[in-house]
Each structure stands twice: as structure tokens, then as C-alpha cells.
Amino acid sequence: MASKLLASVLLRQTSLRTSHIRTLSTAAVAAVAPPSTAEPYEDPSGISMKGVKISGRPLYLDMQATSPLDPRVVDSMLPYYLSRFGNPHSRTHLYGWESDQAVEAARAQVAALINASPKEIVFTSGATESNNISVKGVMHFYKDKKRHVITTQTEHKCVLDSCRHLQQEGFDITYLPVGSDGIIELDQLRSSIRPDTGLVSIMAVNNEIGVIQPMEEIGKICRELNVPFHTDAAQALGKIPIDVENWNVSLMSLSGHKIYGPKGVGALYMRRRPRIRVEPQMNGGGQERGIRSGTVPTPLVVGMGAACELAMKEMEYDEKRITKLQEQLLNGIRAKLDGVVVNGSTERRYAGNLNLSFAYVEGESLLMGLKEVAVSSGSACTSASLEPSYVLRALGVDEDMAHTSIRFGIGRFTTEAEIDRAVELTVQQHYFTIELATQLFIAGNVLLSKPSPLCVIDVALCRQCCLVVGVIALSLLVML
């Protein structure tokens, strides 16, 4: 079985140059290979999953959830799966030495992208672990003198949950509000800092709305008042220029799979001068300077390093191209639909994140109908909830509009043709949802005009019944 697996991997590697992996999506391979027939494991009659059947793989516009692997990243990783598979912590033979050398090279690649020293980079399993080490690790280390944390209401859920965990331990947490543009007030941050404030944690680019916080100004305030500053930069890495010196950050959380690298790997920047200290959140062999014990996964780390190096070379080009595609998407939708609102600042935002609210429709109904476009209604970590986005509610968006939000994520391999198709499908589904809702409203009024004997008993109950039946019917029709 193992030999068959290795053979299939090698065969797949050599065929990448002449075959196309995902013919109907924004696959990374689309950038380097011409289209051909569908994959052998795909049913020519279509794909069916969770009751939804479509003719091919959907367009991928959910880059904030994850990004496809750049094929150049795959090429860098494969040798460390197949031949150079040594444990980087093995010090007595070639396999360990070459693996360790690859890890250190990747560490330097990550550091270069954020203007840090390789000695300040700690590899983790992802941004969630990096955030936990930063928030809980710092406060646990300084718990005798520092009992206060400042963060924002729009942070990623793993930061908010880490803060709630600290609250249960007796720490005091201040959740800064944001304006309608999603940006904090600097004066409010300054006035919230106390003598016992042990950490300020504010994300650089918001994962739901793409808003960019004033990082240099925040860092300047924290440095002036001698408070450690942590930022979750998972959505910023490789997308906007990052300089840990200009930002004055003490800790920075990074993720591999948001920048066309592999899943399961991330990094934590920890400043050495002035030195920031944390209490490790797990025990083990003392790898990564004792901050994060456990065997470093060489292939994943190499992949993240390669992704960072590519981002450093191509960031400017990607930014210009993605901005153009975002304008094409927004203008295309607004040209045909009224009541389309961009959530968050339109000036201070990452162009690849376009979060829109659509008046007059239910966002979940719109999403259910967009079978051929992979988009989301918010963070992938909280999208299972039917509650409106807490980020949008923090911006002051009313509940109805918050329920209609859709996040379009544009990336390196998104094409103009895919944007045009996404506009077409979004507009079509919007019209269909409006028309269907109108028909259900008319049908409901007909029912109310001739209520059954049971309805006469309680007209209010009748209205609720018609509403429930209408919503169920709408959901079933949209899924057809």
C-alpha cells in the first residue's frame, strides 16, 4: 500500500506540467497548466455532496478561509516527504542534518517577509496556536504583576476565547469597540491602558471584513507606555507589507495556509530586544527554544517558507491584480443590483476581501443558491452558527443586513472570467430569491384572507405559521 501511494504521488508530480487538476475552479495548477478533461475520480455527470449537485467544481472565492497550494510550494515540499524525510532534531546523521538545514532556511524566509531575525521565529501548528501562546502565555508569565488585557470586539474567535479563558482565571479584559468602518479609536486605546495592563492584542487585517488597523500608531502607543503588543497577522502576511520594527509589535501570529502554503503549520514572531517572555502552553521535548515542544514538521515548514519567499517577490504584483479584480466584482454587482453595501472601511482594507450585504434578501438563502460559487457568510471558524456575524454587529450593522452578508475572497489564481461568472450567478440568484419571496408573500396573504377554523382562533399564530411554512418552502426551492 505504501509503495502504491509513493508511486501515485511521483506520477502526480510529473504529470502536473501537462495536466490540469481542477478544470472549473481557481486551482493553483490553472496558472501553469492548460485545461483538459476532468479528474478521473470525478463523475462526468456532476458532483453531489450534502444533497447539492452541480455540473463541476465550483468557482473558489473563499480565500480568507484557506488558499490553494501554489504548485511551486508543492515542488519545494515533496523531497521532504519522499527522500529527505529525517527528523530535524536528529543530530547524529545526514537525514537529520539536511532536515534541520531546511527548517532553518524556512525560518529565514519567514523572517525576511516581516523584517525580523530568524531567531525570533517559532514554528507552530497555525495561527490559532500562536494566538493562544501569545495571549495566555504572556499573561500567565507576568500574572503576578499584570492582570489586564486589551483587545477589540472584532478579533478572531480564538483570541476572544483565549481572553474569556483568562477572565475565568480572574484576569480583567477590555474589549475596545470599533467604528462603523471597523477601525478602533486610538485615543480610546490610550485611555484604556492601565499600570497593570500586560498585553494589547489587535489583529492587523480582519478576517471577515478585510479592514486594516493603524498598526504603526497602535505600536507607537504601546511602546510609549511600555505595554507588549500582539497582533494576529494571519490575514495580513503576504498581502500587505509588514515590518515588525515599524509596527513595534512584541508578538505576531502567522499562518501558512492563508498565503498559498500548506495547512497545519504557522509561526509566532517573538521580539528579542526588548525581550518578550511567555509561559509555554504545552510540555514536551523542548523544541523551538522550549516555546513549542514537538517535532517540527519539515515538509510543512519548508512549504511555509517557500510561500513566504514567493509572497515577498510577488506581493506588489498580486496586490495590483487583486485590486483590479475586486473593482470588477463590486462594480459588476452594483451595476445590476440596488442596496449592495460594502461592510467596513473602503479606504483601509485588503482588496482581496470583499464583504457585501444585500438588501431585501436573506444571506443564507442567497448562499444556498450559489452552488457554483464557493463563498461564505463570514469566518470559517464560526460559519456553522445561524447567528449574525459578531464582527458586523460590532460595526453597528443592523441584524437584517448582517444576516445578508457574503464574503468574497479573491486571490492569486482568481481569473477575470471567474469574476464575471461570479457576478452573473450572484445577480441571477438575487433576482430568483426576490421573486420567490414575493410569490411566497402573495401565497401567505391568500392563506390569511381565507384562514382555516384553527387560524380564526389566533390570527397572530396564523401569521407565524405562514411565515414558517414560507421559509421552509423557500429553503427547499432554493436547494432544488
Catalytic sites, residue numbers = 381
In angstroms, the CA 114 to CA 372 distance is 37
What is the CA angle 166-207-155, rounded to 5?
Answer: 25
Strands (E), 321-457: 340-342, 353-358, 373-374, 405-409
Alpha carbon 469 to chain centroid distance?
A: 35
Rounded to 5 degrees, what angle do the CA atoms 315, 73, 319 make?
15
β-pair partners for 267 = 123, 254
Q: Which residue has the cell 527522500?
A: 83
DSSP-derived pairing of the beta strands 197-201 and 121-124: unpaired
Q: In terms of C-beta distances under 8 Å and separation of at least 24 residues, what long-range contacts does 378-384 make, across chains too?
A: 378/208, 378/405, 378/407, 379/64, 379/156, 379/157, 379/207, 379/208, 380/62, 380/64, 380/65, 380/66, 381/156, 381/157, 381/158, 382/157
The grid cell for 18 is 501537462
Q: Is 312 exposed, middle or buried, given 0-12, 13-18 or 19+ CB atoms closer than 10 A?
A: middle
What angle, rounded to 10 degrees, do the helices at 416-449 and 298-334 form?
60
Place of cell 450593522: 397
Grid cell of 105 as nine digits? 532556511
Tell me how many degrees the CA angle 379-375-54 measures, rounded to the nearest 5.
140
